[in-house]
Amino acid sequence: MTITEMQAKEHYSSVQRTARRLVGNRADADDIAQEALLRAIVYVRDGRKVENWRGYLNRIVRNVIADDYARKKRQGPVVDLDDVQGSLGVLPNQYQRHRIHEMQDAINALPEQQHDVVQMIAVDGMSYRAAAERLGVPVGTVMSRLFRGRETLKVRMDEGQAPEAAAVAA
């Protein structure tokens, strides 16, 4: 250990007190004091000289605190995983895919007239008028078939009934 390293260590208790006064937490203050001493020793080993050790170490303490504050601000708040684990759960998309397949099967199981209207309007996004023109029926008929088709789909999807079983039951 060089003479300058010994000088730095002589001021360690003063550095600890300064750090404790600034952060208010003994454990954090000890970490800050150690980091300050380490930075000072590295500075001296690089061939530089320190005239006022106490002032230099206190300046490093303030820099370490500022660096720590900036790092914590960049990283954001620390959150305990146990506190948020319940809110992190996401349903697997297999369920959504399964429901989409169920819906498509239910649409395919509709009577032909309802199927065509539901497919054109609800799935393909056609207007009532365009669907009526394509099917060659009045707009009111399209609206009626769409209503009945949607009601049938709602019942089948709410019951979770397989489309084939629902068609047989109807």
Give tens-digit pLDDT for 29-46: 999 988 988 888 888 777
Per cent of the chain over pLDDT 70 is: 86
Instruction: Considering only residues 166 and 80, tell me which one the structure prediction assigns the higher pLDDT.
Output: 80
Q: What is the DSSP string of 116-155?
A: HHHIIIIIT---HHHHHHHHTS-HHHHHHHHHHHHHHHHH
User: What mean pLDDT value characterizes the chain?
Assistant: 83
Residue 168 is predicted with a pLDDT of 45
What structural domains and CATH numbers belong to the chain?
Answer: 3-77 (1.10.1740), 93-169 (1.10.10.10)
Question: CB within 8 A of 121, min separation 6: which ones?
Answer: 127, 128, 131, 142, 146
What's the whole-model pTM score?
0.44
CB 118 within 8 A of CB 146: yes
Apex CA 29: angle with CA 28 and CA 33, to 5°? 120
pLDDT digits (tens, 9 = 90+) for 95-152: 778 888 888 898 999 999 999 999 999 888 999 999 999 999 999 999 999 999 999 9
